[in-house]
A = this chain, B = another copy of it.
Amino acid sequence: MVDAILDEAFIAHVGVTSAGAPVVPPMAYGRVDDVLYLHGATANHLLGEMKGHDACVTVTLVDGVVLARSAFHHSANYRSVVLFGVAELVHDDVGKRRALDAIVEQVTPGRSADARPANAAELRATAVLRFPIREGSAKTRSGGPIDDPEDVGLDIWAGHVPLRSMAGPAVPADDLPAGLGTPTYASDYRRPGTEG
């Protein structure tokens, strides 16, 4: 279940301690087997502070809102993964390239084979962290409200409203040369959980 949730999203919220206090940047990621790859500018001080220290990586999919009769039992349908671990820098260029491909591929399945790969300068400018998918847990809620028995007869509507992510039509870049067709992964953008 953890992997399935991770594969539906591409943005994680990464908790790091910086100057003694928690900081939670949103970050794109890519999953390969039991590793999440994160990346950023080599100069990014948060990535530097993350390296070698405890971090928490949380991925959340919001699937709907749950309207119970009682305010108390209102809820959301969701699937989330909270991972704990220590991120380490990826030093070798082969490993960095594989991680960056995984991130491009996580965001847009099918894209990594088409994009121009990083050149040497871009690779130097990019820091890649590997975070183990080892310690943590998934939590999910689905379905309708669960009210207290004495509330069920109340004259209050109850139920749930599903929410989902939808992709709109692809928008070509302003400077795209004429005649370059839109690839299917953009014209018919699909990820697990996102409808085109």
Spell out A's residues near B (CB within 8 Å).
10-11, 13-17, 20-26, 28, 54-58, 60, 62, 64-65, 67-72, 74, 76, 78, 80, 82, 84, 100-101, 104, 107-108, 111-112, 114-119, 122, 125-126, 144-145, 147, 151-177, 180-183, 186, 189, 194
- Beyond contacts A157-B182, A163-B165, A163-B167: 10 other A-B pairs, Cβ-Cβ < 8 A, are A13-B60, A22-B56, A24-B82, A65-B108, A71-B115, A72-B118, A74-B115, A108-B161, A161-B170, A166-B166
Min CB distance A162 to B, Å, is: 4
List B contacts of A165 (CB < 8 A). Answer: 163-166
A175 to B: closest C-beta gap in Å: 5
Evaluate contact between A172 and B189: CB separation under 8 angstroms: no
Asked if B28 and A23 make an inter-chain contact with CB atoms under 8 angstroms apart, the answer reads no
**Are A115 and B56 in contact, with the CB atoms below 8 A?**
no
Nearest B residue to A19, CB-CB: B54
Q: How far is the CB of A118 from chain B (nearest CB, A)?
A: 5
A65 neighbours in B (Cβ, 8 Å):
10, 107-108, 189
Give complex CA distance A60, B17 in Å: 19
Say yes or no: A173-B186 contact (C-beta < 8 A), given A26-B78, A56-B23: no
